[in-house]
Structure 1
Amino acid sequence: MTRLCANLSMLFTEQPFQQRFAAAANAGFTGVEYLFPYEFGSAEIKTQLDEHDLTQVLFNLPAGDWSKGERGIACHPDRVEEFKAGVDLAIEYAKVLGNTQVNCLAGISPTDTELARVHDTFVDNLQYASAKLEAAGIRLVMEMINTRDIPGFFLTTTAQALEIREQVGSSNLFLQYDIYHMQIMEGDLARTLENQLAVIKHVQLADNPGRHEPGTGEINYHFLFEHLNRIGYDGWIGCEYKPLTTTEAGLGWLASHKLI
């Protein structure tokens, strides 16, 4: 059964962050995700979740200075201690908010560092984070991102992620599969979702081109939703797209897919 959550960093952005929880619930969503909770107190976010009967599905580990273009620090050798502190902070928030899953963004590969060292740093950080999170009862996922939107991003394909997962050797490390990013980088969406079902624990969606809502581009979401149900995917699907106009105007796809 398909379970959708609203990404509050992308949807309902016409409203202040704290008001987006009510908007998501009113639109029929039962879960929410977003990039980061850290600008707000965990208690005030928990109040919004409880008031609107929403499940906190996922957020990212701290990822550096987002406003300055940083997109993760997990592959940066000179920021290992900052990464470790971020893991502790994420655990504090997750324990209050109730989510049992967080995502690690590898980051943009530093150009002044040998690629092998960047790779090893990422592996080491994932080993640390997966163990620390497992002790707290929280699953770790990592996300592959396309290099068109984020040039130089370190983790870019399913094959690379699977290789890294094997090197990390943790039973608490899985994949976050963003359909939009992977359509750009590798295609073959349905086959990959089916073949890697055991390690894909979170899915996100947007159409391509444009990263707008389903139905605005080339991806056959009617087929993919049926496919995910058929193969037995039982996780959440995060709606991480940029509305073509406004969030409310673009929600018609939910009804057309008979999802809400």
Structure 2
Amino acid sequence: MSTPVYSAHLGYMFTEYPLEERFAAAARAGFTHVEHPGPYALPAARVRELCAEHALTFVQMALPAGDPARGEKGLAALPGREEEFRASVSAGFDYAQAAGSHYVHVMSGVVADAAQRDTAWSTYTANLGIACEEAARRGMTLLVEPIGAATIANYFIDHPYTALRALEEIGAPNLKLLFDAFHATNAGVDANAFMAEHAARVAHVHIADHPGRHEPGTGAFDFTAFFSTLAQAGYRGAVGLEYIPAAETEAGLGWRRMFG
């Protein structure tokens, strides 16, 4: 089994440092790939400079997620917010291209009213289709990541099979799945079986141990089996480390020796 290429998630890892210093910290720790869902506090050109300076590939980021003070986690599925969503597409894609991001994650948003879910679905698919068209013009790939209720209450795309339904309904070749093994396990989905069947739909992977969402080796998830599944399925992307370090980030990186 070959060693996965790990991507340090700078929203969770190396948070002992200001954002601008996390790139150097990741490089010192041996990472060649990084990601961050919302790096907008730094100018995109600065992100590109930091990655070039430290020989890092900036793998993926997300579109602007809305108003954090209102608990917003994306705009794509929110009826009545279509103009804001389209503005976020333009701004997010401009930033991603300038920063050098390979993929852009489109967050669906929180829909608390169950009665609005049908309307939210039509809003979501229409918005996602528009974003795919714009991404295609720019040569970019969009990601959909299902995030379960245990992590974000009432998040609209809350299950891997809901995300697959969106991919199938839209049918855009540049729309792919960001598969998070932790979120899938939380939702009762067998991460190995899902990847074995649907790897062709997956462009990026996230991991964290379960339960706890800390480093591999702190919970019960079988990473040896999962990495073997990735290899057998022909997955060639990076594996994003979207976990919460149990202590300081560097102190918890010894787990990587378990897998080469």
In the aligned structure 2, how far is the partner of 1:251 from the partner of 1:24? 11
Alignment partner for residue 164 of structure 2, among 162, 165, 186?
162
Alignment match, 2:230: 228
Shift of 1:141: 0.9
Alignment partner for residue 190 of structure 2, among 185, 188, 191?
188
Alignment partner for residue 171 of structure 1, among 170, 173, 178?
173
The normalised TM-score by structure 2 is 0.95
In the aligned structure 2, how far is the partner of 1:35 from the partner of 1:197? 22
TM-superposition CA deviations, 1:179-220 (whole Å, max 9, x none): 110001132111110110110111001111111011111101
Look up the SS of the partner of 2:80 in the other structure. Answer: helix
Shift of 1:112: 7.9
Shift of 1:9: 0.5
Shift of 1:255: 1.6
Alignment match, 1:58: 60
Look up the SS of the partner of 1:196 in the other structure. Answer: helix
Contact 2:7 2:240 in 1 (8 A): yes
Contact 1:100 1:137 in 2 (8 A): no
TM-superposition CA deviations, 1:148-171 (whole Å, max 9, x none): 121111111222111111222212
Larger displacement relative to structure 2 (208-217 or 104-113): 104-113
Alignment match, 1:131: 133
For 1:132, the aligned partner's letter is E
Unpaired runs of 5+ in structure 2? none
The normalised TM-score by structure 1 is 0.95
Larger displacement relative to structure 2 (86-95 or 131-140): 86-95
Look up the SS of the partner of 1:176 in the other structure. Answer: strand
| RMSD of aligned alpha carbons | 1.3
Contact 2:89 2:131 in 1 (8 A): yes
**Identity over aligned residues, as a percent?**
38
Alignment match, 1:100: 102
Larger displacement relative to structure 2 (70-79 or 117-126): 70-79
In the aligned structure 2, how far is the partner of 1:246 from the partner of 1:120? 43
Alignment partner for residue 25 of structure 2, among 23, 28, 44?
23
Shift of 1:224: 1.0
User: What is the number of equivalent residue pairs in this alignment?
Assistant: 258
TM-superposition CA deviations, 1:96-154 (whole Å, max 9, x none): 22222111111111428622111100000110011101110110010100101211111
In the aligned structure 2, how far is the partner of 1:27 from the partner of 1:78? 45
For 1:33, the aligned partner's letter is E
Contact 2:180 2:207 in 1 (8 A): yes
In the aligned structure 2, how far is the partner of 1:245 from the partner of 1:158? 30
Alignment match, 2:9: 7
